[in-house]
Amino acid sequence: MRAHMRAASESIGCTCGCCGAPALVAFSGKRHYMELLNAGRRGKSKISKVDIGVQPANLIPPGWPFPASTQVIVCCSTSGASPMTAAERLAPYQDLASKLADVPWPRAELPRCKRKEAAM
């Protein structure tokens, strides 16, 4: 993820390293996100539950490479073995599709380094 953001940032002459960050990152399944959140945590300090949907800014995995502008969204598992209806399983992905639809593409503004511009 870091290498991708660095490459995207470098492609627009970014000097801050964050301008190539994704608008959002989605996880398909709580478990994958929980594993990241609990990396390095032990015992009672482990986080035992996350909600489906946009994650709060204070609940970000240690070493998370993206800036606060990158939304983290957790969707439910796509496994048919998880006990939920098809509509329940589909809803978080419909929300995700809606959020993605709100990200203009191609971007309305040409990508450029915000820090580099502020220094000019």
Q: Which residues bind Zn ion (CB under 5 A)?
A: 14, 16, 19, 113, 115
- The token duo for 8 is 């995207």
When the beta carbons of 19 and 96 are compared against Zn ion, the nearer one is: 19
Closest CA to 115 of 16, 11, 9: 16
CB of 61 to Zn ion, least distance (A): 22
Task: Please identify, using beta-carbon distances, which residue of 16 and 24 lies nearer to Zn ion.
Answer: 16
Shortest distance, position 17 Cβ to Zn ion, whole Å = 6
Nearer to Zn ion, 101 or 108 (CB): 108
Instruction: Kindly state the smallest distance separating residue 109's Cβ from Zn ion, in Å.
Output: 13
Cα–chain center distance at 94: 16
Q: How far apart are CA 86 and CA 56, in angstroms?
A: 26
Residue among 74 and 113 whose Cβ is closer to Zn ion = 113
Nearest CA-CA partner of 1 in 24, 21, 19: 21
Shortest Å distance, C-beta 37 to Zn ion: 27
| Element of type H or E holding 96 | helix 86-101
